[in-house]
Structure 1
């Protein structure tokens, strides 16, 4: 068994705040502790270390817990503390070990160390750990709190007795045969010239020092990280029991590849939103670490930083460019097919088609812009990528111009969200990033493959029944199948795509008078009626308006080779069919303008791809199936031919 050389007075000096000491100490007790974290989180460990004379409890940082789990660090192990912090918590001094080196895996307990008393605790109450010379308990961990006191009886002198139920409390009389290890004689400890005995270093009082993101833990005091902003979210507004508020987040990446999200609320949004720019490097300090919610945070850190009033975000130069601009972990398209719904991943491919931007209405009544593109890669698969919001007019417009000019760019999607509706597709979220022709090895490989034959290579879409001219993944049905398959009779509506011709329009009531009042960011749109004053009255808003709005309520008859049926088209789809707003068409009719009939006739007898919401509704005692047009696009012969060829290929492959 190797001899050990512990640092004399190492424990008191460490507690006094000497962070440059790097003492050699021995583990005299170790146990796991419960932590608040997501299910499946690894346990944390508390160890008691000794310098041969004094002991103190310490906490292991999360990145060191594997040493305890594997048994490499256990009772009797001698280690050197190479990096640690001393925090003040409720009047007590707590040492957090950030890094250490195992010097001797096994060794008997050295000396007879006593616990260093906390402020206000008398030396008479200090607890003694008695020397144990029996064989060490390999890989064992104590199950209860350490109790190193001695027990006395009323009629006998003080003797040392083992405490029941806790192996760490056992004290035995040294045997003559077992070797006793004592600390090697060393000169008394003297601090380095820059050492000052200033007492406990309290949280947010110690000078901040740059540490890697991977080493952040909630037991640290004041910390600082140097990292590049890779993504910045928009300001989101919310309302809860405490009132209205606003929030935004940004993502950071440091030189070691560590990632973490930083979140600001309310007044801090005003303070930091304009100051933070994507691509710049900042030093962030004095934040509150909380467990990251993995349902919304895809980064590789278990923590998230919430900035506080005393937090700082300081711009700093990155002269040697040591921090990368972005960190990717690409998933090939064929592997996306086996990914879970709502999974967040990175994907890269060549853009082969780009569709125009369209506007849809979300469930909350808000309008949203969307644009779909197609990516293909060397795996022989292609996937639909849906852009939302600003991505449509920013990167989307640039991609459309490039494809229309015959240039097929490489696109890298950072943090795309998987959707498994009728196959697999990828959509953007607030923290997504789109990089066109990035300077990456994967992009150069794709470029070479595509230009050297990949352009003409056959691919299969993992977005089932996908047609580039369609607004999203399709479940193709005929008019007859809507009835024969009993669609719309379940608890939830069915969504299908029908290729059909518009054969008739009801013109007597193609629109209705709507409330123009704005409620927050959206229009009321409820039906209004003329009041006695001549104004338009909205029962919902309980207000009168001199002018009203007009919104489509089109009843159209559609037909394919299997039959005919009726469908209803509201505002957005009405504009897609007729090419003008309901107000414009109403004015054409009121003024006897010939454009009224021309507008109605131009949508008849054309083939459309109609995205239908099929749902059974009750009218009095009558139940009937209602078809609502959610999307209407004229059939693109080229895209439809490709769709039919893909269908034939899949059919042949099934035999």
Structure 2
């Protein structure tokens, strides 16, 4: 049975027709690329041949042998781009029609003059059309002294192949748009606007392109300092009507152009950016590329809402599956909030302080998991969730891009790209709400996170002072977080605070130690700036004890204020400016032998050549005897059941 390829397919594609689904034959397949596998095809319509690049998501079709030399395929989705003055067909989707077939016709390499073929009117009989086109092409080529024999075609193809081997994927040469685009706005410099394509079709082999997508997330403006100097950067995520997602990043001057323009939830047409491989350690989206906007890039807000583009795209995992997820894996999770703990201050390794709040989620899978909120999430969504749960309401919480942690069981934490939705209006949330209201509320769930006391969070595991040493707390790779009920028996009053930098880095205070320069102004080496007044921050050294023993702890700013009841600046001025020793001593004595619940971070650190266990107070609460009685009753109940 004769095989009929689509007449004039190569000419039509080069002329801009990317809407038909032509049948073509694969004459050659070669592996190219330096950083990743990419396959190059030589495609034929039986008269002309054309080089093509295969989208990487189709590589398996080559590796499994579904497409090979001689295969007849149907191009389902494709574009035609100009690369180093050569037109390349980029195949985005295809179907195998005949896996094995002899070479059809006597094709030659496509040239610009061959585009005239598209003006021919094909005969109703495909075989007659192919014959007529062959005759016409042979006549033209014979006048030029060209041969259409297979041997000459192979020689020509070899030369072209060698030239294309030097092609660099990151180069984006000028794109010549086809002439049949309509209704795409004003034409400038005799060039039509770039055609809007799906995000999934983006690749470095294109010239001009445009995408239409909704902003689903926008990162904070961050400043950095490296060997090349200071800079600023922000990123945002896009989602289009086909479900394709991609991250867009802007640096420095480009930040000034677009940071205030971009709004979450709005739809934009974006063009003239460059594509680079996605940095998967920072980018969780399922796309091998990132877009980097440049000074020539355009970002145009769509004035009318496009209902075809979803507001958000989720890929929810049941909580039971999180138990087997790898650490640092990024996923989406949805559940009912069954408990929320208060926010606590945490001192980061860089000396900066942040907030942490933990809560627990359950779902229909029979499991519950601990979710750790960091930073602003604690004060915004965290406070709202705590008020709802305290009022007897148990909201649905959807988490987009949470990070799995496997420290003592599995938990999920927020990162900079995380988004949180309270009682969202979509199918999964409605289903979960119905399940909970119809009996799920009373269904027991097994926690996949660390075993904790009722209502307690990771840093509320009760220990005694003696257990810190006896159990070797803080000597593992990660710090231990515990709660100790103890009194302050002694406090050092010399060097109880330090002079700190008051400048802001983003939304955080620098807080690094500063010194006076020669002109009596304060100088910060980190910020490389001088200023008239500094800040004062606590660095308290205190001895705490309970019925089992005593130990030394360090309290920084917020926890120091909780212990002494005033700011470090106030206490400094009282002692050194006003020199009111009596009032100063009274404040110190007022906290001695008072009972506190100390939330402690315990971690072994290197001091000179010696390893020492450092105990830091992250929160100090004066004893609430009513709450403590409830805790003791819960402890007794636990003992009874065990």
Report the TM-score range of the alignment, normalised by the length of the smaller protein: 0.7 to 0.9
1:414: Cα distance to partner?
Answer: 0.8
Map of 2:150 onto structure 1: 129
- How far is 1:469 from its partner? 6.7
The 1:360/1:82 distance shift into structure 2, 3 A limit, reads closer
Equivalent residue for 1:287?
Answer: 273
SS in 1 for 2:296: strand
Deviations 1:164-193 (A, max 9, x none): xxxxxxxxxxxxxxxxxxxxxxxxxxxx99
Residue pairs, 1:60-71, within 5 angstroms: 60-71=54-65
Deviations 1:206-261 (A, max 9, x none): 64223222222222232222221111111111223332221111111122222111
1:184 alignment counterpart: none
* 1:271 pairs with one of 239, 257, 261: 257
Give the distance between the partners of 1:245 and 1:193, measured in 2 at CA: 42
Shift in alpha-carbon separation, 1:463–1:81, aligned structure 2, 3 A: closer
1:84 matched residue in structure 2: 78
Q: Where do residues 408-419 of structure 1 align in structure 2 (5 Å cutoff)?
A: 408-419=394-405
- Say if 1:554 and 1:366 are closer, same or farther in 2 by CA, change over 3 A: closer
Partners of 1:5 and 1:493 in 2: CA distance: 67
**Corresponding residue number in structure 2 for 1:134:** none
User: RMSD of the alignment, in Å?
Assistant: 4.0
Alignment partner, residue 628 of structure 2: 637
- DSSP-derived class of the 1:296 partner: coil
Larger radius of gyration between Structure 1 and Structure 2: 1
SS at match of 2:544: strand
CA distance in 2 between partners of 1:58 and 1:543 (Å): 56
- The aligned counterpart of 1:25 is 24
d(CA) in 2 for partners of 1:494 and 1:235? Answer: 30
Deviation of residue 436 (structure 1)?
0.6
- Native 8 Å contact 2:497 2:537 kept in 1: yes
Larger mean Cα displacement after TM superposition, 590-599 or 17-26: 590-599
Deviation at 1:536, TM superposition (A): 8.8
For the pair 1:58 / 2:52, whether they are aligned, the reply is yes
Residues 62-112 of structure 1 show CA distances to partners (whole Å, capped at 9, x for unaligned) of: 344343334333222233435432222222222222344444443221222
Matches of 1:646 and 1:223, distance apart in 2: 66
TM-score (norm 2): 0.78
Q: Does 1:526 align with 2:513?
A: yes
**Structure 2 counterparts to residues 595-634 of structure 1, below 5 A:** 597=586, 600-602=589-591, 604-615=593-604, 625-633=613-621
Give the distance between the partners of 1:623 and 1:30, measured in 2 at CA.
Answer: 61
SS of equivalent to 2:194: coil
Q: CA deviation at 1:474?
A: 6.0
Which position in structure 1 is the counterpart of 2:163? none
Whole-Å Cα distance in 2 between the matches of residues 293 and 537 of structure 1?
Answer: 40
Are 2:54 and 2:90, in contact at CA under 8 Å, matched by a contact in 1? yes
Q: Structure 2 matches for 1:104-183, cutoff 5 A? A: 104-116=98-110, 128-129=149-150, 148-149=154-155
Find out whether 1:501 has 2:507 as its counterpart: no
Separation in structure 2 between the aligned mates of residue 646 and residue 462 of structure 1, nearest angstrom = 22
- Is the 2:337–2:361 contact (alpha carbons within 8 Å) kept by the matching residues of 1? yes
User: Are 1:479 and 2:481 counterparts?
Assistant: no
How many Å apart are 1:434 and its aligned residue? 0.8
Asked if the contact 1:465/1:473 (under 8 Å) is kept, the reply is: no
Other-structure match for 1:329 = 315
Cα displacement string for residues 451-495 of structure 1 (whole angstroms, at most 9, x for unaligned residues) = 3443344444333143577664566543223333445567x6743
Q: Are 2:550 and 1:559 equivalent residues in the alignment?
A: no
Distance change in 2, residues 1:205/1:63 (3 Å): farther
C-alpha distance in structure 1 between counterparts of 2:524 and 2:41, whole Å: 69
Partner Cα distance (1:539, 1:319) in 2: 49
Give CA-to-partner distance per residue, 1:347-371, whole Å, 9 cap, x none. Answer: 1122233333333332223332333
Tell me if the contact between 2:347 and 2:618 (Cα under 8 Å) persists in the aligned partners. Answer: no
Question: Contact 2:499 / 2:536 at 8 angstroms: preserved in 1?
Answer: yes
Instruction: Deviation per CA, 1:253-274: give whole Å up to 9, x if none.
Output: 1222221111112222111111
Task: Give the whole-Å Cα distance in 2 for the aligned partners of 1:113 and 1:572.
Answer: 78
In 2, are the aligned partners of 1:613 and 1:629 still within 8 Å (CA)? no
Matches of 2:634 and 2:446 in 1, distance apart? 11
Aligned equivalents of 1:289, 1:300: Cα separation in 2: 15
- Aligned to 1:298, the other structure's residue is in SS state coil
Q: 1:645 to 1:246 in 2, by over 3 A?
A: farther
Further displaced range: 343-352 or 476-485: 476-485
CA distance in 2, matches of 1:250, 1:493: 32
**Matched ranges for 1:357-376 at <5 A:** 357-376=343-362
Give distance in 1, aligned partners of 2:400 and 2:503.
36
Partner residue in 1 for 2:164: none
How much does 1:320 deviate? 5.9
- Structure 2 match to 1:179: none
Structure 2 partner of 1:11:
10
Aligned residues: 577
Separation of aligned partners in 2, 1:340 and 1:458: 25
Whole-angstrom CA distance in 2 between matches of 1:584 and 1:349: 45
SS at match of 1:308: coil
Q: Counterpart in 2 of 1:46?
A: 40
**C-alpha contact (below 8 Å) 1:331/1:346 kept by paired residues:** yes
State whether residues 357 and 373 of structure 2, in contact with CA within 8 Å, keep that contact through their aligned partners in structure 1: yes
- C-alpha distance in 2, partners of 1:222/1:539? 47
Alignment partner, residue 364 of structure 2 = 378
- Among residues 396, 408, 411, which one is paired with 2:382 in the alignment? 396
Cα distance per residue 1:530-585 (max 9 Å; x no partner): 99x9x798797999988665433333332334322222323232123233222334
Tell whether the 8 Å contact from 1:410 to 1:436 is kept in structure 2 after alignment: yes
Matches within 5 A, 1:176-325: 207-316=193-302, 319=305, 321-325=307-311
SS at 2:80's partner residue? strand
C-alpha change, 1:460 and 1:25, in structure 2 (3 Å) is closer
TM-score norm. by structure 1 comes to 0.76
1:107/1:367 CA distance change after superposition, 3 Å: same
- CA 1:505–1:324 in structure 2 vs 1: closer, same or farther (change >3 Å)? same
How far 1:7 sits from its partner (Å)?
3.9
The aligned counterpart of 1:154 is: none
Please say if 1:355 is aligned against 2:341: yes
Segment of structure 1 superposing worse, 522-531 or 384-393? 522-531
Deviation at 1:498, TM superposition (A): 4.2
Q: Are the equivalent residues in 2 in contact too, given 1:585–1:596 (CA < 8 A)?
A: no
**Does the CA-based 8 Å contact 2:216-2:237 persist in structure 1?**
yes
Tell me the CA shift for residue 413 of structure 1.
0.9
Distance 1:34 1:530 in 2: 56
Match of 1:73 in 2: 67
Cα distance between partner residues in 2 of 1:523 and 1:368? 13
Superposed displacement of residue 588, structure 1: 5.8
